Amino acid sequence: MRFKLHHTAVYGALLCISVVLLSFTHSTKKTSTPGNRELIEKIFTSIDNVKTLRYSLQCNERIKGRMQHTESKVKLQISPRKLYLYIKGIEVLWIQGWNKGEAYVNPGSFPYVNLSLDPYGSMMRKDQHHTIHEMGFQYLADILKDGYKKSGDKLDKVFSVFGEEMYDGKPCYKLAISFPDYAWGPYKVMKGENLVTIARKLRLSEYMILENNPKISNYNDVREGDIIQVPNAYAKLTLLLIDKDLLLPVNNKVFDDKGVFETYEYHDMKVNQPIAPEEFTKNYKGYHF
C-alpha cells in the first residue's frame, strides 16, 4: 500500500529538473505573489491549524527504478490521530491508543480476513516510500521547516515563490525549494538507531536511504558503528502548488539526483469539516471490515 554518479547521469538529471522548472514557471506574474518568507510562514500556520482532512490522493513513487502509481481516499483526524484509508478494495483503519498500535486492515483479497499489522512492518511497508503515519501535512511541514532552518541567510536562494497556476480549478502559488549543493555523504549509525529513526532525526526519506545503500536489506538492517550513505537534504528540488485559499500544498513533486523521486496530487480536499466519530470505526456503514 502506497501512502506516494556518473557525470552523464548527473547532467541528465539536472537537465530534466531544469526543463520541469522552466515549464513550471512559464507565463507567471511574480508581482501578484507574496514574498518567500511570508508565504512559507503562512503555510506552516495553516498546517498547524488543520484538525481534520478528507481528500483523494494520487501517488507516484519511484520503486526500484520505476514509477508506481496508486490512488486512495483518506479521512484523517489529527488529534487524537485517527485514519481511514481506502485503496482499490483495501481498507485501513488506525486509531491512536487502539488495537495495540497496529493498523486494522481489510486486504480485499486472500486471505479474506481482517488483519492487524504493524505500520512499520514488512507487509505494510513493501514498495512504499512512507508509512500511514506520514499521511497528512505534519510530516511535510517538518521537512520544510528543516529546509527553512538550513537555508539560513540564503532563504531566497533556497525557497522561491515564482507565480501562480490553476489546479483543479483553483488558483495556487508555485513554490520551489532547491538545494543545488545536494550530495551524499557518510553517516555513522549510533546505538539503537535504524533507518527510520535516522531519517526522522535528519529529516530525510528512509526509503531513499535504503535504496542507495544496496548492502542494507531492510530498515532494521544496521548496527551501531555501521557507516551508511545519506543525503544532506530531503531532496535536490521540490516543487509545490499551494492552494491560495487553504494555504496548503495540493501538488508536490520531489526530485533527487536521479530525477523524479515522488509526486503527490491532492484532490477534493475538505479541511476542518467535521468527521463523525463512527467514521473511524470498523462497523461504519459502507466499510467492509
User: For position 20, what pLDDT does the model report?
Assistant: 44
Cell 552523464 belongs to which residue?
Answer: 8
What is the b/e burial string over 218-228, where b = at least 16 CB atoms within 10 angstroms of the residue's CB?
A: ebeebeeeeeb
Please state whether beta strands 82-87 and 159-167 pair in parallel, antiparallel, or not at all (unpaired): unpaired
Rounded CA separation 12/79 (Å): 44
* Average pLDDT for the chain: 90
What is the pLDDT at residue 33?
Answer: 60
pTM of the predicted protein model: 0.86
Among residues 266, 257, 88, the alpha carbon closest in space to that of 172 is found at 266
Average pLDDT over residues 53-79: 97
As a CATH number, domain 7-183+232-280 is: 2.50.20.10
Instruction: Give the whole-angstrom CA distance, residue 91 versus residue 285.
Output: 13
Q: Determine the average pLDDT of the residues in 189-196.
A: 98
Neighbours of 207 (CB within 10 A): 22
Q: Which band of pLDDT confidence, cut at 50, 70 and 90, is reported for residue 6?
A: very low
DSSP assignments along 160-204, one per residue: EEEEEEEETTEEEEEEEEE-TT--EEEEEPPTT--HHHHHHHHT-
Can you say how many angstroms the Cα of residue 152 is from the centroid of all Cα atoms in its chain?
23
Which one, of 164, 186, 184, 185, lies nearest residue 174 by Cα? 164
Cβ neighbour number for residue 235 with a 10 Å cutoff: 24
| Interval 80-137: pLDDT, tens | 999 999 999 999 999 999 999 999 999 999 888 999 999 999 999 999 999 999 999 9
Distance CA 93, CA 153 (A): 43
Cβ count within 10 A of residue 156: 12
The answer on pLDDT for 210 being more than 60 is yes
Predicted confidence (pLDDT) at residue 21 exceeds the cutoff of 70: no
